[in-house]
Amino acid sequence: MPQTFEDELESGDDTSVERATGPSLATLWSRRRFLQTTGGFALAATASTSLLALSACNKAPTDLPPFTFKELERGADEAIHVAEGYDADILIRWGDPVYADAPLFDPMKQTAAAQTRQFGYNNDYVGFVPLPFGNATSDHGVLCINHEYTNAALMFPNFVSTDAASREQIDVTLAAHGGSIIEIARNADGKWKVVQASPYNRRLTMLDTAMDLSGPAAGHERLKTSADPTGRRVIGTLNNCAGGITPWGTWLMGEENINFYFGGELGDTPEKANHERMSIPRNLMGWWRFHMRFDVELEPNEPNRFGWVTEVDPLDPKSIPRKRTALGRFKHEGAESIATRKGRLAVYMGDDQRGEYLYKFVSRDAFDADNRTGNADLLDHGTLYVARFKDNGSGRWLPLTFGANGLDATNGFLSQADVLIETRRAADTLGATPMDRPEDVQPNHITGRVYVALANNKDRKAEEADGANPRGTNLWGQIVELIPDNDDHADTGFTWNILVAAGDPTDTAIAAQWNDTTSKDGWFACPDNLAVDAAGRLWVATDQGDDWAKTSGAADGIFALATHGPERGTAKRFFQVPVGAEMCGPCFTPDATTLFVAVQHPAADIAPEERTPPRASTFEDPATRWPDFADAMPPRPSVVAITSHNGGPIGG
């Protein structure tokens, strides 16, 4: 069966390239296990707890509160489900008004003009900024939501293909990308509502939102186009996956699978090798048919203006978002930050494609927690690093700095701008360690540890297990824990462990690793987004794509995952999405009494053979009509607010 659009988005395009690499995680894991177990602990999986998964650092906290909720049973159907004792309320849906003057959503008469005023499609990352800022309030704030991409077959009636789509339909999809900022507040009944007339409410779209390029690559010749001869102004941001909120309350949007938006022929452009390294063009969206900037033959530099982290000030509706080039250009997943010992900011990021790398950026200067505007240019100056995992269980962060370690004219880098525009090739040159789809990277502000979600690598065969992951044909993924040397996120050294290797622990062929106390309902596959609550506990959102029937047999969801003590490596199922949906955006209020989650593309990730009788999921006949369950409404990506019946913190 041909890959679905969703599967193509999640897999990327594993372009074959020659690159020097460091040791693989497969080699590292086997050596690490041998060193830390007696007699060389076998790699063959059992349902038992692996010694490696329990080999926590001596500084592991022992006072994180346990998860006490009653676990949700595994399953897959047309609705959402949450653990007993909790409510899951729809906050906002695709097409709902963002601005007070937005028209009501009419799926049969969609227009680009309406969509620029309405909530966008496929809500992914969710970030909460309290109002007033600095008071850490948990009943009033703004939500910042990424709109990753569009599933046109579920959006438009009688949709045939992107090659046959009308100009209006194409423009609706451009308007549905980007992001939404909405003010929200709790009512007297404890329910969250959108403040409809809020001055903070804002849509960022690919049609009309101007953004500045800043940092070392801004203004470079390779960023200049016919529409922007300065190389400093871009319209829009696209394919925004996971992101982050800075300590000064700005929103970081990570641009991920940018290659799917460009069409045309590369020809003999000087950017050909650069574009091929990013798998450009792929043309799954059809935008180039009506917008010349997405035709790589006509505008070969336009792709270089995407693949960055965009910083947005949600508390200043008139502010111009900035693409921070100092943080590198690749398929960004996540941009979560934590302070270093000297008060600088470390931003952790993954490159979400099989065989790509793990990155962090450390700012040159310390941030000012008491002066929001004083941090306006902080992310334009600093050092970008890529990770190499070593065979003794340690690792190094390698600086991506022009003029050092081969990042010079001998390898085609003529400036720091070149290094940043071609971050992937620069990382190749340094011999970074390839990873299996690095997804969200979440530092824990309580423990100081960092968690890396590695989703899967279904293309790698068993005999190729010296790749980025300890398992060949890895459909299930794992979570790696990093501990910075000297407890300092500015340090270039770290140690690492594998917290869990996902998949069914009862299937010995899978080689999964869980704590014995993980139940038949608790284990998961394909970790994606991560969040840490106010108590320092880790939560995991999964994304199995349309492989869900064989990776776990259950829908995606939210899982609580213990990271310390005797229950380290124990997962518990908390929330479940409808069939065909991906779980995104776990985000807590400061007191953790509300968990916001994003249910993305309901009805999309379901193969025809999973339905009876077998058939595709379409606008007219979707696998689910969640959340409206009305014949006149298609399935709608939505943000959900989860609260406890007793008003206490999520998870107990």
**Residue 49 confidence (pLDDT):** 30
- Give the pLDDT band of residue 464 (cuts 50, 70, 90): low
- Give the pLDDT band of residue 457 (cuts 50, 70, 90): confident
Average pLDDT over residues 592-617: 96
**Residue 554 confidence (pLDDT):** 97
Contact (CB, 8 A) for 458 and 544: no
76-94 pLDDT tens trace = 999 999 999 999 999 999 9
Q: Is the torsion defined by CA of 233, 234, 235, 241 positive or negative?
A: negative
In a domain, 274, yes or no: no
Q: What integer best gives the mean pLDDT of the chain?
A: 90
Residue keyed to tokens 């490596």? 569
Contact (CB, 8 A) for 540 and 527: yes
Amino acid of residue 440? D
In a domain, 573, yes or no: yes
Per the structure, the complete domain to which residue 407 belongs is given by: 5-185+192-256+307-644
- Give the pLDDT band of residue 466 (cuts 50, 70, 90): very low
In a domain, 262, yes or no: no
199-216 pLDDT tens trace = 999 999 999 999 999 999
Using a 10 angstrom Cβ sphere, with 0-12 exposed, 13-18 middle and 19 or more buried, the burial of residue 40 is exposed
Q: Is the pLDDT of residue 57 over 90?
A: no
In a domain, 292, yes or no: no
**Residue 46 confidence (pLDDT):** 28
Instruction: Report percent pLDDT > 70 for the chain.
Output: 89
In a domain, 179, yes or no: yes
**Residue 393 confidence (pLDDT):** 81
Name the residue with higher pLDDT: 18 or 139.
139
**Residue 476 confidence (pLDDT):** 95
- Give the pLDDT band of residue 473 (cuts 50, 70, 90): confident
Count up the domains in the chain and report the number.
1
- Give the pLDDT band of residue 392 (cuts 50, 70, 90): confident
Question: How would DSSP label each residue in 83-100?
Answer: -TTEEEEEEEETT-BSST
- Give the pLDDT band of residue 436 (cuts 50, 70, 90): confident
In a domain, 138, yes or no: yes
pTM, entire model? 0.93
In a domain, 294, yes or no: no
Q: Is the pLDDT of residue 43 over 50?
A: no
| Total residues found in the chain within this entry | 652
In a domain, 427, yes or no: yes
Contact (CB, 8 A) for 536 and 444: yes
Name the residue with higher pLDDT: 587 or 23.
587
- CA 248 centroid distance within chain: 21
